[in-house]
């Protein structure tokens, strides 16, 4: 039996940092998202990288397929992100990072899904994002404008009425240790309740 914890939030909210530490502390695996974007560095191993041609040719094996338009060296680029359906059928407790639409699609595809929305104020997210390799302010603001629409509070509240969806604040008045602890508390509650096996080795996992 699976138990999937989906972490969502706007760009720069701290999703990857929180997911990485929570998985380490609780002994959970994190699903690697498949993407057609280029690697940011040689050590960028938290995704499964593929080509656009290969992904679209075998599109039926994926869920939560998202198309993103970015600007790299002032040239418009299109990249895809998706989750391999096989990664959701492992019989373990796993963590996944995706966007709100991807989360909703996964909820419709599989049971036992818990959403955790990481909230952070815009200026804080900007500062965090600016520390990434290859940061471009115009790209941040483009993504932020898109995120503001996707993560409108009324949409989160409406979805949360019928699905487990928690909000964790990751702004300056909260320490990272506190945010991680709160996220772990949400996850631990479901793990103790359902007794789901934890980490297994898989090409889909970080």
Q: Please write the tens of the pLDDT for every residue from 139-182.
A: 899 889 989 998 999 999 999 999 999 999 998 777 889 999 99
Query: Residue 130 sits in which domain range?
Result: 3-31+90-194
Backbone angles phi, psi at 137, to 5 degrees: -55, -45
Q: Is residue 162 part of a domain?
A: yes
CATH number at residue 172: 3.40.50.300
Q: Is residue 48 part of a domain?
A: no
Q: Hey, what are 34's tokens?
A: 């498949």
Q: Is residue 107 part of a domain?
A: yes
Q: Is residue 96 part of a domain?
A: yes
Q: Is residue 66 part of a domain?
A: no
pLDDT number for residue 175: 87
Q: Is residue 123 part of a domain?
A: yes
What pLDDT, in 10s, does the model give residues 82-134?
999 888 876 778 899 998 999 999 998 888 899 999 999 999 999 999 988 77
Q: Where are the alpha helices (DSSP H) in the chain?
A: 15-26, 52-57, 100-109, 122-129, 137-150, 153-160, 176-194
Q: Tell me the whole-structure pTM to 2 decimals.
A: 0.86
Mean predicted lDDT score pLDDT of the chain: 86
Q: Is residue 39 part of a domain?
A: no
Domain count, the chain: 1
């Amino acid at each position: 039996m699976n138990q999937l914890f989906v972490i969502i939030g706007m760009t720069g909210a701290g999703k990857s940092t929180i997911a990485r530490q929570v998985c380490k502390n609780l002994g959970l695996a994190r699903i690697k998202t498949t993407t057609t974007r280029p690697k940011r560095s040689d050590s960028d191993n938290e995704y499964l990288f593929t080509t656009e041609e290969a992904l679209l040719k075998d599109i039926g094996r994926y869920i939560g397929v998202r198309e993103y338009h970015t600007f790299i060296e002032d040239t418009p680029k299109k990249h895809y992100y998706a989750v391999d359906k096989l990664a959701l059928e492992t019989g373990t407790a796993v963590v996944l990072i995706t966007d709100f639409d991807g989360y909703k699609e996964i909820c419709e595809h599989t049971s036992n899904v818990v959403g955790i929305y990481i909230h952070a104020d815009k200026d804080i997210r900007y500062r965090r994002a600016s520390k990434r390799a290859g940061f471009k302010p115009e790209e941040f603001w483009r993504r932020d404008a898109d995120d503001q629409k996707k993560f409108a509070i009324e949409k989160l509240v409406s979805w949360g009425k019928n699905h487990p969806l928690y909000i964790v604040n990751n702004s300056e008045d909260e320490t990272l240790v506190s945010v991680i602890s709160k996220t772990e508390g949400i996850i631990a509650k479901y793990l103790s309740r359902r007794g789901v096996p934890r980490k297994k080795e898989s090409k889909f996992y970080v």
